[in-house]
Amino acid sequence: MPTDAAPRDAGRGSLSDVATSDAALRRFLQGLPGVDAVGLEARAAALGTRSIKTTAKAYALDLAISMIDLTTLEGADTPGKVRSLCTKGAHPDPGDRSAPRVAAICVYPDMAATARQALTELGADGINVASVATAFPSGRASMAVKLADTREAVAAGADEIDMVIDRGAFLAGRYLQVFEEIREVKAACGAAHLKVIFENGELATYDNIRRASWLAMLAGADFIKTSTGKVAVNATPPNTLLMLEAVRDFRAATGQQVGVKPAGGIRTAKDAFKYLVMVNETLGDDWLSPHWFRFGASSLLNDLLMQRQKLATGRYSGPDYVTVD
């Protein structure tokens, strides 16, 4: 695949001043080459046909489990549910302690402290607490509220913040406003990692997803994330592949590595493998770790565990042998 998304005039030097004004940023983002939708979808479909078996499958299953941001983002979340989710994240398969831990537990800000405490009590401090913030999932709140939301989550012990961009501002073309918001939230995060959610399903076109990717990376995102999981279209192989290409091109242009997190709609081990193949083929080994690639998922873990049990015993497993969350 040619490196087609790095703008021809976007050398190392010119990237530093693309965000000096609204006009400059708009010129840069709208100057990004258009996305070949047919080619992108064909490429994503082709990468989804690989057959992963035996030892490679065992490796991929464990890698995928270790990349999961185990998520509960419901209005009905209770402290008890968050605690049991933490227990599951620390010991995904109670019948097989060799199963790896998940990467993070992803909750609403008011549950971050509960999650932090539960993980400490479990002796699983290696698992991060990720908190959504900035008026997730709509992002429709004033800047002061979004920043307060972020600071509160960090103070409650969140190691990672999943922010949503203001899609209204983005779609209206007010790119600099979105850019400044990301910068301010990043500053409010302090030591916490910042993941920026685009909500691809609301961005309407592939070109917009490419623009949003570059915008977020220029503004200092540590991770770019496909979606909230709250709308009809969430992570799809093509829109994730497009973001993977954007982080590849961004590293080529600036030397900075940014992570990617597809979220929503990834439910089976087979789906997860498709994403891992895309990461390997587009970005290579550098991104094949929980530091640089995550799955935002809840039901995916159970399917990975059932596949793991099948591999260990030779028998097909069933939902009776994993926890109900």
| Residues acting as catalytic residues | 162, 225, 261
CB 67, min distance to other proteins, A:
25
Q: Which CB, 9 or 320, lies closer to other proteins?
A: 320
**Residue 150 within binding range of other proteins, rule CB under 8 A:** no
Q: Which of 9, 98, 318, 324 binds other proteins (CB under 8 A)?
A: 318
Q: Which of 315, 323, 324, 325 binds other proteins (CB under 8 A)?
A: 315
Strand partners, 225: 197, 261
| Residues 252-311 contacting other proteins, CB under 8 A | 309
Query: What separation in angstroms does the CA of 114 have from each of 26, 67, 78, 94, 118?
Result: 42, 22, 10, 22, 6
**Residue 321 within binding range of other proteins, rule CB under 8 A:** yes
Q: Which CB, 191 or 316, lies closer to other proteins?
A: 316
Q: Which CB, 93 or 162, lies closer to other proteins?
A: 93
Q: Which of 270, 319, 323, 325 binds other proteins (CB under 8 A)?
A: 319
Burial of 66 from C-beta contacts in 10 A (0-12 / 13-18 / 19+): middle
Q: Determine the straight-line distance between the first and last CA of the chain, rounded to whole angstroms.
A: 41
Binding piece for other proteins, criterion CB under 8 A, among 186-194, 214-222, 249-257, 314-322: 314-322
CB 34, min distance to other proteins, A:
38
Is 115:107 a contact under the CB 8 Å cutoff?
yes
Q: Which CB, 114 or 307, lies closer to other proteins?
A: 307
**Residue 80 within binding range of other proteins, rule CB under 8 A:** no
CA 220, CA 241: separation in Å to the nearest integer?
Answer: 21
**Residue 49 within binding range of other proteins, rule CB under 8 A:** no
The two tokens of residue 284 are: 């290579």
CB 98, min distance to other proteins, A:
19
**Residue 9 within binding range of other proteins, rule CB under 8 A:** no
Site size toward other proteins, by CB under 8 A: 9
Q: Which of 316, 323, 324, 325 binds other proteins (CB under 8 A)?
A: 316
Q: Which CB, 111 or 306, lies closer to other proteins?
A: 306
CB 161, min distance to other proteins, A:
37
Q: Which CB, 268 or 280, lies closer to other proteins?
A: 268
CA 12, CA 10: separation in Å to the nearest integer?
Answer: 7
CB 310, min distance to other proteins, A:
9
The contact set with other proteins (CB under 8 A) reads: 309, 314-321
